[in-house]
Chains A and B, each alone.
Chain A
Amino acid sequence: MTSALAKDIKELVRSCSAKEAALLPALYLAQGKTGCLDDKALELVSDTLLIPRARVRGVASFYDMFRSGPMGRHIIRLCTNVVCMIMGAEKLADMLDRKYGVKPFETSPDSRFSLVIMECIGACGTAPAMLVNDDLHENLSEDRIVEILDNYK
């Protein structure tokens, strides 16, 4: 698995116009394959791209969409920035805890969901909103969330 990933990363560098621009896509590739950017994943990226460990870790730890620990099967990214907040996002976060056992930046005990609190996902006109994996869900209410999450087993 690791050699397949290393191969994919090398292929990525070839298709990039500038090798410097390969680090972020390589991190995404590694996260996609291994589930999270733990030490082993970071080391593999570092060794394949010949970038120092510290620099890879420094870059990976900066971004909100890279995760360093294991996540649930589905990642809920709920926005609680100002517009979503005034449209009721905080109550939705409470409901996610009550009904699914998932607290902000934690994973539910059954490993079904992880909850990441987001800072504006650009859906303010249809707030409150969340991403579940790559799917955007808008105009949320407690009932809508139950309907939506039913599709994510």
Chain B
Amino acid sequence: MEIETPYVLSDFDKTEAEQIEALMAAAKEPYPDPVAWLEEEIEHNVLLTTTEHLIDWGKRFSVWPNTFFPACCAFEVISAAASRFDFSRFGMEVLRPSPRQADLMLVAGTVTWKLAPALRRVYDQMAEPKWVIAMGACAISGGAFRGSYSVVPGINRIIPVDVYIPGCPPRPEGLIYGFMALHRKVAKDKLLKKG
């Protein structure tokens, strides 16, 4: 059945392809991880006042994650959100599908070059302050599929990453440990604490 449209579908395909090729060409080096806050802390020896403590407490315990779920790790996030492990205890109450309402982007699974422009777009749509967690071996470095012609060797080629959670897939407890590490980072705490 012929349908009248004001556009041609193959144009969409071409624009998508151009975006992918441009991103591939630009992503030769990984983004540096944002650790500048750590040096600043050591340099200036900042003493936090009561108000700042309060603001940090508010900030870190209501980080709302945005779901970006390509592959298998997604199911460990869902397990962590379900009743047994329940990460809403940690303030991640609402899993927001819309990036405009989220603070944290949780990338769980393999990212391919075809998906990369969508990943970049979602990251750009989030408002500051925003953080990114790379969950699972595939998001950190391409994982078991590194070397494939279509897999991005680590999402830090496309967006800067704050916390890396290793595992294939990481257990829900691992994910929660990653969240706690993020909380410490958000609260400007020293991440190099022992234990």
The answer to whether A and B come from one shared complex is no
